[in-house]
């Protein structure tokens, strides 16, 4: 499903586009093209749909835009496989039309032909999908059928078959439920964080059975639910049901993710296992805001008021989750107020600082300044005052005939521009496109400063909303918005272009969500303008520098968070609550600061996740798989940056199919996964091997040239010694590129660090470290790592800790290394296979 989510402004010295001419490469050999993950030949793809095994074929339908490389015109693409490894792309299955887009859903075989769509000799395949109606935006469930093994489809004339008058009712997963001899539908009430269950005898008439939720993680919409039974530890007499609920944003690693619940299903109702009431680690309370004032803490501005709040403030949604009677709440006078609340200085003498946090999701950004201050002096290239564009030239309709004077009809409230005019391409909504180009000028100063807001669609995206600097006909600098109507200060360093002739071009080529751009006050200056902080955060300051930071999740419910203080033992520190945001959710909530020896866990950390990486979403499973196997696949992307990843002429990949199981791990039943066995058919020859090696505080090549490559299957086992961290680095190369796959013994976590993995600057939420809890078993850690041209999938232990991350390394980065930090580890064994393309 599409969702517009907040991201940060993306600036780059030049568009992070292709290190090679991808457009000139033969199909399926482009620079980042996956070799053993399914991708369509061209155009946008997201959620897997209609997963079904029928007559020897695994069917993979998927959300697809037949008309471009960005989200839009959603339809069902189609591919088939006999082994879940070798895929054949087929023609478009279900197309959008003038009335509807075809959103996510499922498919079944009507073996008894109860629908009458086929015959008993040739029963129909029936797709159950969400009709996203263009007139009014309602979502309802509809049918289509095929009598030729899914090659051609007909939409049912009686559609929709299930509607409740909602704009957030989608993604039906339908299966046969044998005990009641009826069809069971699991479908999402997305913004209510609920899943509904319906029953039908004929796939056309549906009866409501029950609802589940809210529960677990609720920081974003619930989408693409899936319900299925699995035997625990392979015992057919001990069966539990698994309910997978995908969430966006609000996943464990940020943005999109797949969470799950384990419980029982009685034919009508799903009941999740009770995990009990969470009790955080005990400790010493530093500040609980129970006094009449802030005590020794000092406030600036007006956002925090004169003292702790007693709960909800005027105009605010209901606040809950705080302890006692008081909390810090920066919603005084609404989101328009700003300020800080700072603790006295203290000496760090505990291992962790635990606290409760809520409010807006506006992270701390290094390099920003707290206050805007005056703009640097310089030459104004355009301030869009005076009621016209002057000598600037327009194409298309997005810019109109003159600058906008503020917020346009249907648009969220604009803020942050100067004077009376600005560029605002929301004219007639996001549907219009065009360009606005300046006259030629000479670059005679070191910086070009400007204000920018609107959509986050970088210059190298298929459908950009971007501000571009063009020299000699080439885009040499670009910037895009951050999916907000607050214009932010930004700057390009152009000192290397001194004396060059240039033009500024503003491009709006996007008709989807946030398909517009806001620009104002473009200036040449010898002084760089620094971006102004927009954070709503709780920060730990050491030596006056922010070293730890947490933010809310756009929720008025406070949840636990924790800072690891161990690196700062003995140092002087302060706690600072910061509200510098005046837009939506421009406030922060905090309570119960506690010094403790163990970290508190948030709802996100206590929830169960099918994958802890950034790039596994809309995960659903195949029905009717041979041998009763439960096999699952997910969209290998994230809505935080899905439209900006630097791939062309396609955008979007699916994970490798995974075999799912329930296993008892550390005394608790967990959903585990491993790559399907058939993936091993792509292994080429014998593996390169190594083992029995102790690595001490070093990084060394693994095995040698035989282990290097861009498409690899790696199995590795380590015995713990005294290293704090150890593991493998893959896709290493010149310039320090590396993707680190490690184990942290101090936190008992598997992690993937992609901060230096290659192209990471297309979106500020892309680089980072993803972590998954993983306990060593008998002093050993086992890893299975799949490396492709633009991804890593890491399976730890028995598959209870999985991290899936996209990476975009240089093609020349193909090294593999083993490392240990602050101690030694024994590499018991490593085996590395090169993997062929499934198309070979």
DSSP 567: G
Distance separating alpha carbons of residues 624 and 175, to the nearest angstrom: 9
Closest CA to 578 of 559, 543, 551: 551
* DSSP character string of 74-86: -EEEEEEESSSSS
Distance separating alpha carbons of residues 751 and 439, to the nearest angstrom: 50
- Phi, psi (deg, nearest 5) at residue 225: -75, 160
543 as an active site residue: the answer is no
Asked whether 457 and 645 are in contact (CB, 8 A), the reply is no
Spot the catalytic one: 47, 226, 463, 579. Answer: 47
Q: Does 214 sit behind a cis peptide bond, omega within 30 degrees of 0 on the bond before it?
A: yes
List C-alpha distances in Å: 765 to 298, 489, 516, 613: 32, 19, 20, 13
Contacts of 680 (CB under 8 A, 6+ apart): 713
Closest CA to 329 of 310, 301, 350: 310
Structure tokens at 604: 């996100």
Give the up-direction half-sphere exposure of residue 74: CA atoms within 13 A in the CB hemisphere.
23
Distance separating alpha carbons of residues 479 and 467, to the nearest angstrom: 5
Structure tokens at 99: 């009335």
Contacts of 437 (CB under 8 A, 6+ apart): 392, 393, 394, 503, 504, 505, 506
Closest CA to 252 of 743, 790, 749, 788: 749
CA angle 568, 572, 577 (to 5 degrees): 90
List C-alpha distances in Å: 209 to 142, 202, 612: 19, 16, 32
Taking the CB of residue 102, how many other CB atoms lie within 10 A of it? 27
Residues with catalytic function: 47
């Amino acid at each position: 499903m599409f969702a517009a989510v907040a991201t940060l402004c993306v600036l780059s010295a030049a568009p992070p586009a292709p290190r090679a001419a991808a457009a000139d490469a033969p199909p399926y050999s482009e620079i980042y093209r996956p070799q053993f993950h399914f991708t369509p030949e061209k155009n946008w793809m997201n959620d897997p749909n209609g997963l079904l095994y029928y007559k020897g074929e695994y069917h993979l339908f998927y959300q697809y835009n037949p008309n471009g490389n960005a989200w839009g015109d959603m339809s069902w693409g189609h591919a088939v496989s006999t082994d879940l490894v070798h895929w054949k792309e087929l023609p478009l299955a279900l197309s959008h039309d003038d009335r509807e887009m075809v959103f996510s859903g499922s498919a079944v075989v009507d073996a008894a032909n109860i629908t009458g769509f086929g015959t008993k000799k040739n029963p129909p395949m029936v797709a159950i999908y969400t009709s996203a109606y263009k007139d009014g935006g309602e979502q309802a469930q509809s049918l289509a059928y095929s009598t030729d093994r899914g090659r051609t489809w007909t939409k049912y004339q009686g559609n929709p078959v299930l509607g409740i008058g909602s704009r957030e009712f989608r993604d039906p997963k339908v299966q046969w439920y044998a005990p009641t001899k009826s069809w069971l539908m699991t479908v999402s009430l997305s913004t209510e964080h609920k899943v509904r269950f319906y029953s039908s005898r004929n796939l056309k008439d549906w009866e409501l059975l029950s609802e589940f939720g809210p529960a677990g993680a609720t920081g974003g919409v619930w989408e693409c639910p899936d319900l299925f039974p699995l035997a625990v530890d392979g015992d057919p007499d001990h069966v539990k049901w698994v309910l997978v609920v995908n969430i966006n944003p609000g996943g464990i690693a940020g943005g999109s993710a797949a969470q799950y619940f384990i419980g029982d299903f009685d034919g009508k109702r799903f009941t999740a296992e009770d995990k009990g009431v969470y009790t955080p680690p005990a400790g010493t309370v530093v500040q609980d805001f129970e006094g009449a004032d802030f005590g020794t803490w000092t406030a600036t501005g007006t956002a925090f008021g004169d003292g702790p709040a007693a709960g909800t403030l005027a105009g605010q949604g209901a606040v809950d989750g705080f302890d006692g009677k008081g909390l810090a709440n920066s919603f005084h006078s609404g989101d328009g107020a700003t300020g800080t609340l700072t603790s006295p200085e203290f000496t760090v003498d505990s291992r962790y600082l635990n606290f409760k946090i809520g409010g807006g999701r506006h992270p701390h950004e290094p390099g920003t300044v707290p206050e805007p201050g005056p703009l640097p002096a310089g030459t104004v290239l355009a301030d869009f005052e005076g009621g016209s564009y002057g000598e600037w030239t327009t194409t298309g309709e997005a810019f109109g005939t003159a600058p906008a004077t503020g917020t346009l009809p249907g648009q969220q409230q604009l803020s942050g521009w100067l004077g009376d005019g600005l560029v605002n391409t929301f004219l007639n909504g996001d549907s219009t496109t065009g360009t606005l180009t300046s006259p030629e000028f000479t670059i005679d100063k070191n910086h070009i400063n400007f204000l920018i807001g609107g959509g986050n669609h970088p210059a190298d995206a298929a459908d950009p909303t971007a501000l571009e600097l063009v020299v000699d006909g080439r885009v040499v600098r670009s910037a895009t918005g951050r999916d907000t109507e607050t214009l932010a200060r930004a700057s390009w360093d152009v000192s290397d272009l001194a004396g060059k002739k240039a033009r500024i071009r503003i491009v709006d080529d996007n008709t989807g969500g946030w398909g517009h751009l806001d620009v104002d006050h473009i200036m040449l200056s010898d002084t760089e303008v620094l971006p102004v902080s927009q954070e709503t955060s709780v920060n730990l300051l050491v030596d006056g520098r922010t070293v730890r930071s947490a933010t809310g999740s756009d929720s008025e419910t406070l949840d636990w968070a924790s800072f690891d203080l161990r690196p700062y033992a003995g140092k002087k520190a302060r706690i600072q609550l910061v509200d510098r945001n005046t837009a939506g959710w421009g406030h922060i909530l905090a309570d119960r600061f506690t010094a403790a020896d163990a970290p508190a866990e948030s709802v996100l950390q206590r929830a169960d996740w099918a994958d802890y990486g950034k790039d596994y979403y809309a995960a659903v499973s195949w029905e009717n798989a041979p041998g009763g196997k439960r096999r699952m696949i997910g969209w290998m992307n994230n809505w935080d940056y899905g439209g900006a990843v630097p791939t062309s002429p396609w955008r979007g990949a699916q994970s490798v199919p995974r075999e799912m199981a329930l296993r008892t791990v550390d005394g608790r039943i967990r959903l585990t996964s491993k790559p399907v066995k058939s993936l091993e058919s792509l292994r080429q020859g014998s593996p390169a091997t190594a083992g029995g090696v102790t690595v001490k505080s070093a990084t060394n090549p693994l095995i040698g040239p035989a282990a290097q490559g861009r498409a690899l299957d790696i199995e590795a086992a380590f015995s713990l010694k005294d290293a704090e961290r150890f593991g493998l680095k893959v896709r290493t190369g010149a310039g320090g590129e590396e993707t680190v796959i490690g184990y942290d013994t101090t936190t008992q976590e598997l992690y993937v660090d992609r901060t230096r993995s290659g192209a990471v600057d297309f979106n500020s939420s892309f680089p980072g470290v993803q972590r998954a809890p993983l306990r060593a078993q008998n002093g050993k850690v086992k890893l299975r790592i799949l490396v492709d041209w633009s991804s890593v999938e890491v399976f730890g232990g028995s598959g209870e800790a999985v991290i899936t991350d996209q990476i975009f390394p240089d093609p020349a980065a193909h090294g593999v290394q083993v490392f240990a930090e602050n101690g030694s580890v024994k590499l018991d064994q490593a085996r590395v296979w090169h993997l062929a393309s499934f198309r070979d």
